Amino acid sequence: MKFGSVHLDTQVDREGFLELLGTLDLKPPVIVKPNWGTSNCFIEAQILDWVLTAVDGEAIVVESYGWARTEESVKTGKPGSKKRGYLRRADKWFLRYSGVDEVLEKHGVEFMNITEENWGHRTADPEEVRNLVEESHTPVAMEEMYGFVPERLFEIRGCDLLSLAKVKIWLPPFNISLTLKNLFGMIPGPGRLRYHGKKNTKINQSIADIYKIYESLFDVKGVVEAVFSASVAETLHKVNIHENPGFASASKQLLDLDAVVATMIGLDPHEISYLKHASSIFGEWSEEAVSQARQSGLQIL
């Protein structure tokens, strides 16, 4: 099924998922940014296995530290410690707990922690990054963002970067987390309150700016999936998990993809402030594709 540039399947299996990924023309090396923001609902090992099967070549899986990707979060629903040693142990725990460590070993693929690269000062020259970004875009609001790009990623600039997002319905001001919001995790963290701003006054700009940087360096493509799970937050500490929705979608145009998926959730993409802000910078999503999704009557959850 296709709405504009967005390919999707509402009863996807492995073969269907691989077919969707085929529409992206992924060419190694591929940087894969999964959504591993929490240890309660995340891109599963099986999904990552399918992605790496589709890549069929060199890939680097990247993510940054998060306070909610911990064993404590699974047990109590609350974030863990902010201390570096705790976060490092939690990351190793998560790779084992999720089964991702076995998938990485199976495919001979490296996992790079963006936060560790920044802590270790293994980052690209911010002036080089700035020059490449500002060839096409206005400067980012917080200039330190130019210094966040790991050197090893910068060395393979020009390759494909896949934003591999999980369907997560969240509280305002986000409402839903998809491929653009997933790239917010390329800000090293683990704490990103500075980029949220007081009462989230800076969040739309921050999401657009980190995308601006990576869109300038890589060919960014997207997948939004809810094959085995999706989440719906009732409160900050109460999140309901929906099992086996069977949905997956892919597009080379992130704004089209996020707008179509939001529509299939029953949301108006014009009311999602970070999407609307991004559209003012990168161009409007396809209203025709959104209309097709709305008229189809298909729902993800």
The pLDDT of 96-118, averaged and rounded, is 97
State whether residue 100 is helix, strand or coil.
Answer: helix
Q: What is the CA radius of gyration of the chain?
A: 18
- Which pLDDT score, from 0 to 100, does residue 282 have? 97
Least confident of 46-50, 149-153, 198-202: 198-202
Tell me whether residue 29 is in a domain: yes
Domain of residue 71, residue span: 2-296
What's the rounded Cα separation, in Å, for the pair 224 and 215?
18
Does the residue 273 lie in any domain?
Answer: yes
Render pLDDT for 24-33 as a digit per residue (tens, 0 to 9): 999 999 999 9
Segment 161-178, tens digit of pLDDT: 999 999 999 888 889 999
What does the alpha-carbon distance between residue 263 and residue 46 come to, in Å, rounded to a whole number? 27
pLDDT at 285: 98
Structure confidence at residue 269 as a pLDDT band (50, 70, 90):
very high
Answering whether pTM is above 0.85, one says: yes
The reported pLDDT for the residue numbered 234 is: 84
Alpha helices in the chain (DSSP H): 14-22, 45-55, 71-76, 84-98, 100-107, 114-119, 126-133, 151-155, 179-182, 193-196, 203-217, 254-265, 273-282, 287-296
Domain count, the chain: 1
156 within domain boundaries: yes
User: Tell me, what DSSP letter sits at residue 150?
Assistant: B
The better pLDDT of the pair 278, 234 is held by: 278
Q: Is residue 227 part of a domain?
A: yes
pLDDT top residue among 170 and 277: 277
3-state class of 41 per DSSP? coil
| pLDDT tens, position by position, 226-250 | 999 999 988 777 889 999 999 999 9
Model pLDDT, residue 189: 83
Give the CA count within 13 Å in the CB-facing half-sphere of 61. 23
Position 301 in a domain: no
Neighbours of 280 (CB within 10 A): 10
Residue with tokens 């940014």, as numbered in its chain: 33
User: Count of H helices and E strands in the chain?
Assistant: 14, 12
In a domain, 112, yes or no: yes
Neighbours of 171 (CB within 10 A): 10
Kindly tell me if the per-residue pLDDT of 200 is higher than 80: yes
Identify which of 146, 113, 149 has the alpha carbon closest to the alpha carbon of residue 127: 146
Residue at 128 is within a domain:
yes
CA 30 – CA 78 distance, rounded (Å): 33
pLDDT-derived band at 193, boundaries 50, 70, 90 = confident
77 touches 84 (CB < 8 A) = no
Instruction: With a cut of 90, say whether residue 129 has pLDDT above it.
Output: yes
Q: Tell me the DSSP string of 103-133.
A: HHHHHT-EEEEHHHHHHTT-B--HHHHHHHH
| 43: three-class secondary structure by DSSP | coil
* Mean pLDDT score across all residues of the chain: 95
